[in-house]
Structure 1
Amino acid sequence: MKLGSLKEGGRDGTLVVVNRELSWAAKATGIAPTLQAALDDWSNAAPRLNALYDQLNAGQAAGAFPLDMDALAAPLPRAYEFVDGSAYLPHVERVRRARGAEVPESFYVDPLMYQATSAGFLAPRDPVVVPSEDYGIDLEAEVIVITDDVPMAVTSEQAAAHIQLIGLINDVSLRGLIPAELAKGFGFLQSKPRSALSPVFVTPDELGDVWRDDKLHLPMRTWINGVWFGEAECGVDMQFNFAQLVAHAAKTRPLTAGTIVGSGTIANEDTSKGASCLAEQRTVETLRDGKPSTPFLKYGDTIRIDVTDASGASIFGAIEQRIAPLSR
């Protein structure tokens, strides 16, 4: 099934079930007022939501209405936790090679992960507001999973059963602020503003055989200002699958229902498929030409992030955003 949230009903939105073609929706408030409430009681809410989804696809859902993407908030307008990995090591390897550094052996057996901001997520059509273009504005197209309650110290095999929803994220980065922050040895803060989520999240069964081995086996398509930028394969070169990432996050603490776990920027060894972030493209250019030629995003630039099925239909809905200045 596919789930989203309307921009109404308070900070956490109003839960809606969305049909397979992303054209119709029905409020699910008789089951759960918000997606977070549904995740808190997932074993009871999920079967009822799925029944409503079947009715909606059959054209039999009471109160169904045409879906307006601009009316959608992020499916989870705010989450208890967002932890983001860096599971695509070709990206890490290239970045380090460009500055003459080796990849530590531990990176191949122990996932990279950091605690990201989750107090608020941008809707899929909201602008990305940044105080200055000089901050080095970048997109990062990623896959995310959303869990139910995950016990502490689960194995990766156990963690797989706790993945309940899958979606996309534009994990915005401010590249100009990252070096100084990391030099302090205490991680990201100002360089990682709010990210945007895809219009809907979907259950693993909805994806069929393109969700296997706890990975999404489809290309991540990105455009900047309407021009193709990349279509890196999500299921290729992923060193750690999502079950392993969830287990890593839960090693010393339980994860609360509604926790978001990110894959990190999608990147392949084969650079002919383009990139999923500007930093990746600039690194490829530096290794090839000695310096980067692709600029970071400027005010007025637009981005589009989407994953489509074999017929070309969008699965999660596209993230479509414009870069905008802060209005003081």
Structure 2
Amino acid sequence: MIELLALESGHGGRHSATTAGLPRTPGRLDSNLVKIAHVRERNAPAGTPWRLAVARDAGAGRWLDLEEARQGLVVEDPHRAHNSALFRQPVTTLDDHLARGMRVEALAEIVEGYAAADDDDEAILPVTDLRFGPPILQPPSLRDFYAFERHVKTIWQRRGATVPEAWYRLPIFYFGNVSEVRGPGDPVWAPRGSEELDYELEVGALVDTPAIDLEPDRADEAIGGYLILNDWSARDLQRDETTVRLGPAKGKDFATTIGPWLVTPGELADARAGEAYALQMTAHVNGLETSHGAWSSAQFSFGEMLARASADVHLRAGDLIGSGTVGSGCLLEVKDEVLKRYLQPGDTVTLAIERLGTLTTPIVDRPSDGTEHGSRPS
């Protein structure tokens, strides 16, 4: 039985666990709550608080500052703060919103209620003035799966072996390092001792409600939105670690980049193809296309991945799920045909997924000022 715990409605009330698994009703998500992001002024100093915003138009050229909008709506009608939990406290980050027990879709109440006077409205932010952060700043956990057969076959063939039978039965994952989550434009460098830095082109899904023992055919009801995920890899470190059949560890835990924003499921409904979406995925290095795949080629759906992840354990709101690398979605698979090498300082990696946007990362030298010791870009 699917068990989604403490789902929050758009009006601040909780559903019981017995009714929480009912399919979502399309409407508000589809038209008003499509892209959600953490933003701040482009030239703001490091450490400036992020602001939670929603794209105001299809091209994401204008963004609505949700806290500015919330304040305006409460001034307009003070009863809102009495009638809805959403309006009683400041809207700061998506992390805080989820920690208060509210789902992503609850934010639609602000978007629907706010009518901007004009482009000079302080709540409206032009994209040209903004820098974007990770859509979730500090996920409680990060599970990265291994869902695309073409990628898996290529990796095993390079080892002179066939894909293990268990892979076809079990959605396999590893735990990533939530301390090193980066956002759009944040630099990445090869970890100490590595000369084989690689990208991995993946879809990410954000869990936005506590859940346990989800059923595969309904588990995606626990997803608040999708994003692009780059699971950076140090292939030489990873290769050494796997010889002792434990890990991945230091070959993977130095950086994961997500962004550029969170796209709600309703925005993708017309691209549904079976249990996935008919959306193209590409990677470019310095403008050269190096990878091209399709989300719909996944062997396992996010529902199946979430069912596996939640078996006998509690998922938490904010947990991040990676799909694994799409076929051809890393240099380990394709470098000999396209780039002839791994990534180097000065390279720019750009991942793109239809409807989810574009995620760009500069590759730099490993800092010598101590930045690598627990101080990620902010």
* TM range, smaller chain: 0.7 to 0.9
Summarize the alignment of residues 73-152 of structure 1 with structure 2, pairs less than 5 Å apart: 73-131=133-191, 134-152=194-212
Q: 1:244 to 1:17 in 2, by over 3 A?
A: same
Q: CA deviation at 1:133?
A: 8.0
Residue-by-residue CA offset, 1:164-193 (whole Å, 9 max, x unaligned)? 111101111110100221223321221112
More deviation in 52-61 or 90-99?
A: 52-61
Secondary structure, aligned partner of 1:318: strand
Given the alignment, which residue of 334, 357, 361 partners 1:317? 357
Which residue is equivalent to 1:277?
330
Which residue is equivalent to 1:184?
244
Q: Distance in 1 between matches of 2:289 and 2:346?
A: 17
Q: 1:67 to 1:53 in 2, by over 3 A?
A: farther
- Answering whether residue 271 of structure 2 is matched by residue 210 of structure 1, we say yes
Percentage of identical aligned residues = 25
**2:212/2:315 contact within 8 Å kept:** yes
Letter in 2 for 1:317: G
Which residue is equivalent to 2:373?
none
Q: 1:53 to 1:142 in 2, by over 3 A?
A: farther
Which residue is equivalent to 2:83?
none
- Answering whether residue 51 of structure 2 is matched by residue 4 of structure 1, we say no
What is the aligned-residue RMSD (CA, Å)?
2.7
More deviation in 95-104 or 56-65?
A: 56-65
TM-score (norm 2): 0.74
- Answering whether residue 312 of structure 2 is matched by residue 252 of structure 1, we say yes
Residue-by-residue CA offset, 1:135-182 (whole Å, 9 max, x unaligned)? 310011100110123422221123121111111011111101002212
- Answering whether residue 340 of structure 2 is matched by residue 294 of structure 1, we say yes
**2:66/2:110 contact within 8 Å kept:** no
Q: CA deviation at 1:35?
A: 0.6
Secondary structure, aligned partner of 2:212: coil
- Answering whether residue 213 of structure 2 is matched by residue 157 of structure 1, we say no
- Answering whether residue 89 of structure 2 is matched by residue 33 of structure 1, we say no
- Number of aligned positions between the proteins: 307
Q: CA deviation at 1:70?
A: 5.8
Given the alignment, which residue of 54, 64, 69 partners 2:124? 64
TM-score (norm 1): 0.84
Secondary structure, aligned partner of 2:106: helix
Letter in 1 for 2:179: A
Given the alignment, which residue of 283, 292, 301 partners 1:222? 283
Letter in 1 for 2:295: C
Which residue is equivalent to 2:326?
266
**1:141/1:171 contact within 8 Å kept:** yes
Higher Cα radius of gyration:
2
Q: Distance in 2 between matches of 1:89 and 1:6?
A: 36
Unpaired segments ≥5 residues, structure 2: 1-33, 71-85, 369-378
Q: CA deviation at 1:214?
A: 4.0
Q: CA deviation at 1:252?
A: 2.3
Q: 1:201 to 1:53 in 2, by over 3 A?
A: farther
Q: 1:57 to 1:207 in 2, by over 3 A?
A: farther
Residue-by-residue CA offset, 1:9-42 (whole Å, 9 max, x unaligned)? 9697321112331211122233521111222346
Q: 1:76 to 1:59 in 2, by over 3 A?
A: farther
**2:104/2:208 contact within 8 Å kept:** no
Q: 1:49 to 1:42 in 2, by over 3 A?
A: farther
Q: CA deviation at 1:212?
A: 4.6
Letter in 2 for 1:235: S
Q: CA deviation at 1:74?
A: 0.9
Q: Distance in 2 between matches of 1:57 and 1:179?
A: 54
Secondary structure, aligned partner of 2:255: coil
